[in-house]
Amino acid sequence: MQKLKLVAIFCLIHFIASAQDNLDFQKIIGQVDTSEFFSSPDYYTWCSSVIKGEDGKYYMFYSRWSHGNRTDTDDPMNYIFNGFSGWNKYSEIACAVADKIDGPYKYVATILKSKGNNDWDKFTFHNPQIRKFKKTYYLYYISNSYDPTLFENDTKKTKDWKHWLQYNCTQKIGVVKANHIADFINGKYIKPKEPLMQPDNVKTFEVTTNPTVTQGHDGRYYMMFKSRKPNVGNMTFWMAVSDTPDGKFTIVSDVFTNADMACEDPCMWYDKKRKRYYAAVKYYSNSKKLVPQFGALALITSEDGVNWKGAQNPLISLRELKTKDGIIQLAHLERPFVYIDEKGQPAALFAAASIKEPSQGGEHPTADYNSFVVCFKLNENKK
């Protein structure tokens, strides 16, 4: 009997230890190699998501849109999409491949781009996140169309800002799926006609964006996304749950309504070892309540996937890169994506970055590194 009690106590201690919120990116994050930044001389490069394919290679799905002024004649106010602002109309989702997780990555194909139709996803394709659930690959993304009736009577907004929102506030979340990574590259994926998530005008309004999906502790699929809530200045994360990765998602909670905890760009996963959910996010507040810098990467957590809080060790990275030659200060470090290895643990962190403000700097990323994807290798054994 005494032996059974000791075994029970040991099991309880083991469970409590394994359920601890002890993930600390500051202890496992490494230096970055500037020679392996992923960028393109002709495109802004943003929003990366990486998965290991059946062939053992690593596939990066990312957003890109061309430099320069917009010359299309479909909109007399197309100038509002010049340069970096072009993401709201001209972004496309491309794929690059590498033999190693930290690269170098090489472009292989454009997966999703505007076809000029009148569907809900007429224009931009952005915020990709690639996942594999069971034997199927799912590529989540956002897209938009154009609604000239939005804000048309709002006299407080400038003409340009109103026009921008008539595109921006039609953003919805979609998903395409395929049996093999090569099917995405060859255009053999399944693309539903309707969006996966859109504002319901009851809880969520104007936009649904920043999707991240993971399979939870109960076998169901949890989506965190961003939308607007009435009478709240900042946008709010929302949690939704579905029985299938591409099924109907039902909203179950909102996350961090308080402006002091405002965040965006989540990447969520369920940590089986620690028995909790984590999400890497970009901190979107100057309050320093979560981490000490606006635009820094932060870690939030939940035991049930519904109720969230800042993690015990909330700082992932300040807006900087540590290299063998010193520290590079950044204008932006966002769109974090945490690659989870076969053991279910973080093995790499990808993020979009710029050293100078991309909307004000040179057009050529190799000159000023005005937009690129960086990979931080992670090592849980690192002390």
- Give the model confidence (pLDDT) of 304-347 as tens digits: 999 999 999 999 999 999 999 999 999 999 999 999 998 889 99
For domain 20-377, give the CATH superfamily.
Glycosyl hydrolase domain; family 43 (2.115.10.20)
For position 364, what pLDDT does the model report? 46
CA–CA separation, 77 and 188 (whole Å)? 35
The pLDDT value recorded for residue 2 is 55
- Give yes or no for a contact between 355 and 331, defined as CB atoms under 8 angstroms apart: yes
**What does the alpha-carbon distance between residue 177 and residue 189 come to, in Å, rounded to a whole number?**
5
25 close to 336: Cβ distance less than 8 angstroms: no
- Under-70 pLDDT residues of the chain: 1-19, 360-369, 380-383
In sequence order, the β-bridge partners of residue 332 are 354
Q: Which residues contact 10 (CB under 8 A, 6 or more apart)?
A: none
Identify any residues that bridge with 50 across adjacent strands, giving them in sequence order. Answer: 60
Please answer whether residues 358 and 120 qualify as being in contact, where contact means their C-beta atoms are separated by less than 8 angstroms.
Answer: no
Copy the structure tokens of residue 201: 């005008």
Tokens of 25: 């990116």
> What's the angle, vertex CA 342, arms to CA 63 and CA 242, rounded to 5?
65
**Residue type at position 262:** A
Per-residue pLDDT tens for 211-233? 999 999 999 999 999 999 887 77
How large a percentage of the chain has pLDDT more than 90? 83
What is the pLDDT, as a whole number, of residue 350? 98
What is the residue type of 142?
I
Tell me how far apart the terminal alpha carbons of the chain are, to the nearest angstrom: 40
Burial class (CB in 10 A: 0-12, 13-18, 19+), 171: buried
Supply the pLDDT for residue 369: 55
pLDDT on residue 15: 42
Sign of CA dihedral 47, 52, 54, 55: positive
Could you give the CA distance from residue 336 to residue 349 in angstroms, rounded to a whole number?
Answer: 7
Q: What single letter denotes the amino acid at residue 291?
A: V
Query: Cβ–Cβ contacts within 10 Å for residue 263, how many?
Result: 27
Residue appearing with tokens 């998965």: 51
pLDDT at 3: 52
The confidence score (pLDDT) of residue 18 equals: 52
DSSP assignment letter at 107: E
Cα–Cα distances in angstroms (integers) from residue 111 to residues 94, 126, 185, 258, 316, in the given order? 5, 11, 6, 37, 30
Structure tokens at 314: 């909330």
How does DSSP assign 168-217, residue by residue?
Answer: HTT-EEEEEEESSHHHHHTT--B--SS-SB---SSS-EEEEEEEEEEE-T
The tokens describing 214, both together, are 């993971």
| Cβ contacts of 366-369, under 8 Å, gap ≥ 24 | 366/39, 366/41, 369/37, 369/39
Taking the model in full, what pTM does it have? 0.92
